[in-house]
Amino acid sequence: MKVLVTGANGYLGQGIVKQLLNDGNEVIATDFDLKYVDDRAEKSIVDIFSIDNPYEHFSKPDVLLHLAWRDGFKHNSNAHLEDLPKHYSFIEKMISGGLKQVCVMGTMHEIGYFEGCVDENTLCNPMNLYGIAKNALRNAVKILCENNNVIFQWLRGYYIVGNSKFGSSIFSKITEANECGKKEFPFTTGKNKYDFLDYDEFAVQVSAVCTQNDVNGIINICSGKPVSLADRVERFIKDNNYDIKLKYGVFPDRAYDSDAVWGNNDKIQKILKAKRL
């Protein structure tokens, strides 16, 4: 398939583009900078929001995989609400041009405070601007796709484990701190339980979803298992042989973080099983 990947130079985009290419797909990668993107991809450095007919501009892709998003780890940045209409307008232009499949990266922050297993029918009550904007985009694009008979796939991402210092996750920050020679890392209590997925597996799941159209709608990109933050971070430090220790209780747990939340992985497992056949 020919897949247009926006935000391709980002932390997630780099690995997902590589996985899509490894899976035999043609990839058009676009971002403001593409220096970390696999050279097998067709590259287009451009502001996607400035293009009048993006579907034609990007050579009529089979699928739009929309990863582009500003300030994803700054949960209450005003950029989330400022950029929301731009994301919608871009996707609307793609569909008006002739696009037949839309796949957008979402977030578990759409859910808000919730305890237990999240599936596609779980009610959303986002508690930060990031989650509010993503949730609004999901609802708007769903209606847009339904009205235009376009396949709609919403990838609800959870917590990603990777040792790249270029990301903004706690794992990236620990990697950077270790490389700087720091011996302690300020931490929360670490008691909250989340759904963690290794970076490479995350890329495998995203590639599998957007290159099929039998399973659609909201799809959790997840492991389906709750693990305490402390246990997963301690294991991450051990697996990477880092000489750094967690300093517990320095930061308070955020009010909008659930005690235990994880994704239902039935749909993604169905997709992965079909890919293996």
Looking at the annotation, which residues are catalytic?
A: 130
105, 68 contact by CB (below 8 A): no
Q: Find all residues with CB under 8 Å of 39, minimum gap 6, and list them.
A: none
User: Cα(35)–Cα(25) distance, rounded to whole angstroms?
Assistant: 20
Cα(133)–Cα(223) distance, rounded to whole angstroms? Answer: 25
Distance, in Å, from the CA atom of 116 to the CA atom of 14, rounded to the nearest integer, reads 31
In three-state form (DSSP H/G/I as H, E/B as E, the rest C), the secondary structure along 205-236 is HHHHHHCCCCCCEEEEECCCCEEEHHHHHHHH
* Amino acid making up residue 139: N
What's the Rg (C-alpha) of the chain?
A: 18
Residue type, 56: E
Give me the residue label for tokens 């992965």: 272
Contact present, 228 and 192 (Cβ < 8 Å) = yes
